[in-house]
Structure 1
Amino acid sequence: MRRPRPKPPAPSGPPVELLIEAMGGEGDGVAAGGVYVPFTLPGERVLARGRGERRDLVEVLAAGADRVEPPCPHFGVCGGCALQHWAHAPYLAWKVERLRGTLARQRLEAEFLPAYAAGPGTRRRFALHARRGARDAARAGYKARKSWDLVDVAVCPISEPRLQEAIPALKRLAAPLFEHPKSAPTLHCTLTATGIDVDITGVEAKSGGLSADARMQVAERAAEADFARVTLAGEVAYLARMPQVRLGDVTVALPAGAFLQATLGAETAMGDFVAAAAAGASRIADLYCGVGTFTFRLAGIAQVHAADFAPEAIQALTGALASAPGLHGITAEARDLVRRPMLAEELKKTDVAVFDPPRAGAAEQAAELARSGVARVIGVSCNPATFARDARTLVDAGFRLERVLPVDQFLWSPHIELVGVFSR
């Protein structure tokens, strides 16, 4: 049976003039009737083309007072940033109000502290998608806005200068990765204290992976660029120096593909805030601890039990203990806190618990914290919606959300994070 041909899109008609009245949740301006137009701001008159609720910007007829010149030549095409055209103060205020609104939907109120805001040139990790290019250099960049097309980037103003400077070398590194037509590599790059760490995913493995010759080229190009390490889905392809980071006063060797906060400044701000909130504790649980982002700071206060689902992260954390004199005791375990959350009975001697889960949140662990006798809980979250859900569980059990630190480390995106402190 022959499939019917898809209907061609209906003609969009001539552009229409719209007045932008507000900002939508994804950073698009909103006109009357719920019409969304990207790259617009409240109070602006614009020409937009299209049908339905999503339109394309044709021209800004009357710019708002908060409009600024975007700093990136790729803005508007690259899908990475949505809000470079908005002045910083109203942009940040909008993010914080969105966060406040997300909590309010779960009937949560708290003291909001001044937001931590990352500046340009501070992001220490990015992921470049690579596509076949010239023989000596692949095309590499970010996905285009609302498309699978690739924007071949030359600069990235949100990123650390050393990462930006490495883009040409990363394109050279990617060139040997296309032996198989199904390969679609992504280069996950992290700036560490000992250099740039690159973990490459998306190289077709069913055909046997890269040939010995391609691996040799990858290693040679990594050496030319003085990268610290290059791994292929976690397998070492080149190692000059072990990638290391400082977490508090402790040096930790990073596993391949390990999670780090996007900016060092945000990590420091959150770490200091968490440690201050945990002051006076006698025993602390650090749940979803990763490689120890908060663990080592907390161990300066009290004995810590740390848990995370990634065995390699726990191994890195425990491996760093030898270089961590003067701390209270740290115990750690690899544990799936979704399938096997830390039970209320296991938390009997714990008076402070910290949790920093992935975007899905910590519903199962929050339920056990709610049942426990823990006096204070500190929640770190990259997803305000799941944080609010878990916070509701704690509040319903007798906790109070006292204060919130908004954290904006994904500059010029609609994304915002937070740290919240609960007490009984």
Structure 2
Amino acid sequence: MSDVTLTIEKVGFQGDGVTADGVFVSLTLPGETVRAAVPKDGHARLIEVLTPSPERVAPVCPHFTLCGGCSLQHWDMVAYGEWKRGIVGTVLSRAGLETDITPILTTPPATRRRVGLHARQFRQGRTVRTELGYKLRRSWDQVKVEVCPVADPTLVAAIPVLTEIASHLFEHPKSAPILSVTTSDTGLDVDLRGIERSKSGGLSAQARMEIAMIAQSSDIRLARISIADDILYQTHLPSVRFGRATVDLPTGSFLQASPTSEADMVALVKAAVAGARRVADLFCGAGTFTFPLAENASVYAADAAGGAVRALKAAIGRAPGLKPITVEARDLFRAPVVAEEMAGWDAIVFDPPRAGAEAQVGQIARSKVQRVVGVSCNAQTFARDAKILTEAGFQLDRVTPIDQFLWSGHVELVGVFSR
């Protein structure tokens, strides 16, 4: 490995600076001259910025450069936002798709409502110490987290009590606990993963009792602590609002990471299907779009996640003033809604996982539906699915990038199609 002087040409899709020769250098910006150590794999380690970009700014987090969560806190927000918008344009253009890409909608700091905290334990003589943190850059090691400017302050304030809870999760030597923590309207929902089962099953009765006592005596409002479907502690069902509905979340449930970005997505989706009388919400989850859509249209909602579908169904009766909602548990990858079932639908909304919705979009392409809205967390699979629709006669009217994962290389989007 040798030290070399490099000039950064651009920032790549993952948030690393890239030279004209294809050498990646983390934490650099376009136009900068840097000194870096270059290994054979081409991913260099930054040593020093010799000529900084005028767009370089001071990062807001003391963990930046170590923590693997944020990669772009050192970039001016305007330039950073245009870079993310450009990523979407580049991916669509490579797929032969041209459309209006509207200005990016960026979530503010301190609004992320769910985090995954990794726990590890150290032994120093007779002393045992537990730490919670995020993974380091390109490493299985982690950095102890004491502040996090992207996270809801409630999550940061809970780190001490969550650390105390985590100290009881190492009964099995191979356990590598991850605490998936979500804010809800009724308190924090803590789902524990990475805990190896002992010969007697899960956690011991002693560990479960200790965790419950910590939760009960804490000043932090903890609604539920679970390992998959095994409830260790619960005072309330964690719940959130989707439109007019209050939905009780199943264990391990999916939520959009930021309520701000969720509200932006909902507003875009509702505007795109305005005037529709019958709408389908495919990959509906627990009803993020279903309930807001049902304020103006009857909705068919489908998803393979049984817990989310049951939560959606249970919330319907508690939500006032909505149009009829029909809910089905259905694996839309293996058994997509076919074109013939779409007769009478005015619009379709689909919000699939990162893999996209290729099989389902193929059926939408065969249908006579006039309006379609795609919500995506992966620009590449969205472009593939969008190509299927445009080749069947749809027009991609516009795409709005959503910067839900602030200061990362990740970008989401909402795309609107019409016949």
TM-score (norm 1): 0.95
Q: CA deviation at 1:333?
A: 0.9
- Deviations 1:267-298 (Å, cap 9, x if unpaired)? 01100110111111121110000000000011
Contact 2:395/2:417 (8 A) holds in 1: yes
Contact 2:121/2:128 (8 A) holds in 1: no
> Corresponding residue for 2:306?
311
Matches within 5 A, 1:170-249: 170-205=162-197, 207=199, 208-225=201-218, 226-249=221-244
Matches within 5 A, 1:349-368: 349-368=344-363
Match of 2:281 among 281, 286, 309: 286
Alpha-carbon distance in structure 2 between the residues aligned to 1:325 and 1:26? 44
Contact 1:137/1:172 (8 A) holds in 2: no
Match of 2:112 among 123, 134, 146: 123
Alpha-carbon distance in structure 2 between the residues aligned to 1:366 and 1:136? 53
Contact 1:190/1:196 (8 A) holds in 2: yes
Q: CA deviation at 1:192?
A: 0.7
> Corresponding residue for 2:11?
23
Alpha-carbon distance in structure 2 between the residues aligned to 1:206 and 1:374? 53
Alpha-carbon distance in structure 2 between the residues aligned to 1:47 and 1:145? 19
Three-state SS of the structure 2 residue aligned to 1:323 is coil
Shifted more, 312-321 versus 49-58: the winner is 49-58
Supply the AA of the counterpart residue of 1:132.
Answer: Q
Mark the runs of 5 or more structure 1 residues left unpaired by the alignment. Answer: 1-11
Contact 1:399/1:423 (8 A) holds in 2: yes
Three-state SS of the structure 1 residue aligned to 2:279 is strand
Contact 2:85/2:103 (8 A) holds in 1: no
Q: CA deviation at 1:36?
A: 1.2
Supply the AA of the counterpart residue of 2:169.
Answer: L
* Number of aligned residues: 412
> Corresponding residue for 1:378?
373
Alpha-carbon distance in structure 2 between the residues aligned to 1:222 and 1:349? 51
> Corresponding residue for 1:46?
34
> Corresponding residue for 2:85?
96
Alpha-carbon distance in structure 1 between the residues aligned to 2:132 and 2:143? 7
Contact 2:172/2:198 (8 A) holds in 1: no
Alpha-carbon distance in structure 2 between the residues aligned to 1:224 and 1:402? 54
Contact 1:351/1:375 (8 A) holds in 2: yes
Match of 1:276 among 248, 252, 271: 271
Match of 1:323 among 285, 297, 318: 318
Contact 1:29/1:41 (8 A) holds in 2: yes
Alpha-carbon distance in structure 1 between the residues aligned to 2:405 and 2:122? 29
Mark the runs of 5 or more structure 2 residues left unpaired by the alignment. Answer: none
Q: CA deviation at 1:244?
A: 0.7
Label 1:336 to 1:62 Cα distance change in 2 as closer, same or farther (>3 A). Answer: same
Contact 2:223/2:236 (8 A) holds in 1: yes
Contact 2:279/2:345 (8 A) holds in 1: yes
Contact 1:245/1:254 (8 A) holds in 2: yes
> Corresponding residue for 2:390?
395
Supply the AA of the counterpart residue of 1:408.
Answer: D
1:66 aligns with 2:52: no
Q: CA deviation at 1:162?
A: 0.8
Contact 2:278/2:347 (8 A) holds in 1: yes
Q: CA deviation at 1:51?
A: 2.7
Alpha-carbon distance in structure 1 between the residues aligned to 2:133 and 2:291? 35
- Deviations 1:285-332 (Å, cap 9, x if unpaired)? 100000000000111111101000011101100111121121100010
Q: CA deviation at 1:95?
A: 0.5
Alpha-carbon distance in structure 1 between the residues aligned to 2:323 and 2:342? 18
Alpha-carbon distance in structure 1 between the residues aligned to 2:20 and 2:262? 40
Contact 2:374/2:415 (8 A) holds in 1: yes
TM-score (norm 2): 0.96
- Deviations 1:194-230 (Å, cap 9, x if unpaired)? 1111000111125311100001111112223331110
Alpha-carbon distance in structure 1 between the residues aligned to 2:216 and 2:377? 35
Alpha-carbon distance in structure 2 between the residues aligned to 1:162 and 1:263? 13
Contact 1:48/1:58 (8 A) holds in 2: yes
Q: CA deviation at 1:137?
A: 5.7
Alpha-carbon distance in structure 2 between the residues aligned to 1:404 and 1:82? 25
Q: CA deviation at 1:18?
A: 1.2
> Corresponding residue for 1:156?
148
Match of 1:335 among 330, 334, 337: 330
Label 1:174 to 1:106 Cα distance change in 2 as closer, same or farther (>3 A). Answer: same
Alpha-carbon distance in structure 1 between the residues aligned to 2:325 and 2:383? 30
Matches within 5 A, 1:405-416: 405-416=400-411
Identity percentage of aligned residues: 53
Match of 2:295 among 297, 300, 306: 300
Q: CA deviation at 1:111?
A: 1.5
Alpha-carbon distance in structure 2 between the residues aligned to 1:268 and 1:423? 23
